[in-house]
Amino acid sequence: MAGAQKVTRKDRDIEKLIRIIAIERMELLFKLGIEAVKRGDYEYARRYGELIKRISMRTRVKIPKDIKRWICKHCHIIMVPGFNARVRTRRDGKALRVVTRCLSCGWIHRYEFVVRGGGKAERVSRGVKEEKGGRES
């Protein structure tokens, strides 16, 4: 007879496996997306970005940070600096401000890295359609 505890452990193993597979797929789609952008195939790049989001939602596995950062929150295209994205960094004391702009839809993404005692924290602020300023404190 199947014990409830055994099932739980097996479920956890499956969950772990799903996570590994999901991340593997997201990384593959991300690479394909970058290649598509370099080819000028923006429609494909957007589809790859959407697929990554869908995998994340369906499997409830978070998109790795270094992938998520390059998917436009607004149009879901994969952003590649020098091709369809513009990146600017600015050092502000202990904070490093990174502004990424999607050249496909104009969405601006702001990230802030705060270096604190050896640890590195990432803070993501919400994207805005137009540069307005005065929202940062």
Write out the residues near Zn ion by the rule CB under 5 A.
72, 74-75, 102, 104-105, 107
Give the orientation angle of helix 42-59 with respect to helix 4-39, to 10 degrees.
170
Long-range CB contacts for residues 47-50, cutoff 8 Å, separation at least 24: 48/78, 49/76, 49/77, 49/78, 50/76
Q: Which is nearer to Zn ion, 22 or 71 (CB)?
A: 71
CB 73, min distance to Zn ion, A: 8
Q: Which is nearer to Zn ion, 32 or 75 (CB)?
A: 75
CB 136, min distance to Zn ion, A: 21
Q: Which is nearer to Zn ion, 27 or 50 (CB)?
A: 50
Q: Which residues contact 69 (CB under 8 A, 6 or more apart)?
A: 100, 109, 111
CB 18, min distance to Zn ion, A: 29
Instruction: Look up tokens 């369809």; give the residue.
Output: 84
Q: Which is nearer to Zn ion, 83 or 114 (CB)?
A: 83
What tokens does 113 get?
A: 């890295």
CB 39, min distance to Zn ion, A: 18
